[in-house]
Structure 1
């Protein structure tokens, strides 16, 4: 019986290594040698599984988006009350540390969309999926009687995503006047105004509960 191919496992190992490399030094100066160092292999091994570095980086971005969206959706699926869902979604959507690897990687790629049209397509998917997520939460809240949207649901959802993105970028950049808790509170302030629901509040203690952390084996 033929042995199962190890190629998918080794490719995933390189994707994880490239993710760490992007998170630690950014895209601008990234080289194949940096990925090889993170993976503990020679450069030839990287080229063997990913002949083109851009192919590897596209896979890094695609998987980062999938992790972010899928993990957040899974977390929200455990909650019934739309108010709890919205607060948890907002909390999980911003980085609680400036060195948050997953969010740093997402920002690196979404700010480099002009370099590669495929980055642009993936970034649009990320935005659309987040808007859809918030839109679903808002509709659930309206059905439950908690939310009375002051604007079209799609507009509120898009604004929430843009607030996340903008504040998240300030946190990643180390802006001292925009710590994570302040960003979280500002997002919820908008959410309260947009939904007419005063119950959308959060506290620092809850931030660790719903923060999306890297999966085991990704560091």
Structure 2
């Protein structure tokens, strides 16, 4: 099998390429790395010194591809399937890339600031930074709620890389600041994403690890 995805099933940024792979039924091998295991950690850092998931290895081309968005771009170019995740139309493609970055930076990374603060030792919490992140997340929700009016998917009429990014970002963000009644369009969109077979499969694979998510962050 040519493609190997180094990943962890709980990691939100790993969910993005997993969704892309499952959407198109692309054959690949998932290599789950336990960074808590010294031997596995050393092997992964030798392969990719930055040490961040996900990482795709294409044995056929002897090519390493890091970063979730770049992996999806690579798959779309080299292993395109029936679901075109980056439109051929340049204007739509630019919008997809913009939304992909929006979800990664303003939703996913902002959410992670809140969640990972719960993992800090006592006395080392960044209360100001967490409050700031919560405010930014609410602003991102408001922007997306407005933009989802009349839409099924994030860009155009078809599922795209933007929706791959939205799926884990909104799923985990909803555990931090619930969408509920204040953002009904966004809540309905998240439900559609969770019902999409590719993301539903990703969530099922992540389920055994979900107890590791510090959900009490939702009450901070």
TM-score, with length taken from structure 2 = 0.33
Greater helix fraction, Structure 1 or Structure 2:
1
Greater strand fraction, Structure 1 or Structure 2:
2
**Structure having the higher Rg:** 1
TM-score, with length taken from structure 1 = 0.33
